[in-house]
Each structure stands twice: as C-alpha cells, then as structure tokens.
Homo-oligomer: A and B are copies of this chain.
Amino acid sequence: MTQILESVPNFSEGRDLEKIERIVQPFRGREGVKLLDYHRDEDHNRCVVTVVGAPEPLKAAVLESMAAAIAVIDMRTHKGQHPRMGAVDVVPFIPVKGVAMPEAVDLSRQVAEAAARKFNLPIFLYEESATAAHRRNLAEVRKGQFEGMAEKIKLAAWKPDFGPAEIHPSAGATAVGARMPLIAYNVNLGTANLEIANDIARKIRHLSGGLRYCKALGIDLKDRGIVQVSINMTDYTRTALYRVFELIRIEARRWGVPVVGSEIVGLVPMGALIDTAAYYLQLENFKTEQVLESRIYE
C-alpha cells in the first residue's frame, strides 16, 4: 500500500453487541482495509471504530458500515451521555502515509456526497473539509444534538453541505471531514493541588494564549494523589509533543512542582516520537526513511 488513511467513525450504539457487530463487520477481512480497534461505551451508548486502509477500499468499507448503522440505529430512542446528532455521528479521515491533507479532504467529500445520496442523509463537512469557518469545530456543528437538529438544519447558516436540509427521521445528521491525527497526551505533576494543573493547562492551551494546536485541562488523579494536565494535541507536526512537555515543565517550576511522568493514551503516529527523539538528541539531518521499519513496508 503506497497510500494509507485512517478513519475513526463514531456510531451511536454502545450497548447492543449484535448491532455493533453488524456495524463493524464491513471492516473485517477486507482487502486493503485493516480494522485496528473498536471500543464501545455503555454510558456513552457509542462505539468508536479505528480502521486504516488504502483510499478506495476504505471509502467502500466506511459507506457499507454507515449503511449498517443507519439500518440498526434509531436516534428517536437513543440515550447516552456523549453528545451526538446522528446514527453515524462523525466520520473523520486522517492522512497516515503518502496522502496529503487536500487528498484526504477530497476523499471525505466523496464519502459525504455518496452517503448523502445513498441514505438521503444530511451531511456537514467539518475540520479541514469545512466549507465555512463556523463549521470547522465539530462541537459547533453538533450543538443542539439530534433533538435540536430538526430546527437548526433549516437555518441558512446550517444548511448541510450534502443531502436534504432536513434530518433523516431515524439517523439524524452526520459530520464528515479530514483532520490531522489527534494525540491524547497527559503530563502528571507531583502535587495533589488541582489548581496547579488547571493553571498550567490554561497557560499552555491555545484557547487562553498557549500553543496553537493544544487543548488542555487539569484533572485530579485521586487514586494516585496527584494531578494531571490532560492534553489533546490536534496537529503534532506544528505543535510538537516535546514543546508541550517542556513548557509544562517550565510552568511547573514556578510552583516548585516536579513533572513525575507523562502518558500517551491510545495510538500515536511514529513521526511524533521520532521528532521528540531528534529534538533531545539534537539530531542533524535525520530523515524518517532512516527508520528501518519505515523502509520495510514502503
């Protein structure tokens, strides 16, 4: 495979294992597609699939899975803690290898167009695929959720990018878009004072004056008697992992608090770790192609 994308579709079913199996099935044993993970949450009543593949097979598998989800999920009776607006709530596409962002955007538009046509489903393009600034942020698109969408979708500002300007009766609406890989990254501080984690989170996050591709908040790890700066890195190629880590260390120093560790939750692109190693070792002229594993599978 010379071109690889990742997709992480979120479906509004986290309880009925038979239904979940029907949704996941199209990603199994399929040429050019690899199911990496799926995770269901009963409280959220939501299932998140992680899959990688070449553009065409991935597109076909995602559309099949969407068809299955729309067939088995009825949003009119759906209850769960996680915000949601559709049976297929959101379908992100993430470039992994040999794919530039404009190509990922293009692929997301093809999926959105095909799904709108096949399922008579209203679709909003979000993130890198968004057609207007106010539609980039998924939270903004989804505000009002399934229940509020019937009215919201009639507003000119919220006319869907594809499909009818009314919700699908049972499947609601879906967001589709291309985005950079997210890294869920947490830094642990040697103190039980949550105020310190919150203060540092405020200083490093974009929202309140920090790094451009960094979201953060303070978390209390009661079991361990420490606090944590919990971070979402939304573009590690521009806001590097090590820069966030060092900035937290600098801010923690003001409180006389040590950084006791950090953790990466879930998957991380190899590039983010190579970049980190290259920074600390002060590597000159290092190329990703020098990583043995990157050469084996090219």
Contact = CB atoms under 8 A, between A and B. Distances in A.
| Number of copies of chain A assembled together | 2
Interface residues of A, number: 43
> Counting chain B CB atoms within 10 Å of each CB, which of A188, A262, A292, A295 scores highest?
A292
B284 A267 contact: no
A267 B298 CA distance: 14
Interface of A is mostly: mixed
A81 interface: no
A261 B261 CA distance: 26
A52 B296 contact: yes
A96 B259 contact: no
A2 interface: no
Contact of A270 (B6, B181, B292): B292
16 contacts: A4-B296, A34-B295, A96-B292, A96-B296, A245-B280, A245-B281, A263-B284, A267-B290, A273-B273, A273-B274, A273-B291, A274-B277, A276-B276, A276-B281, A296-B297, A297-B297
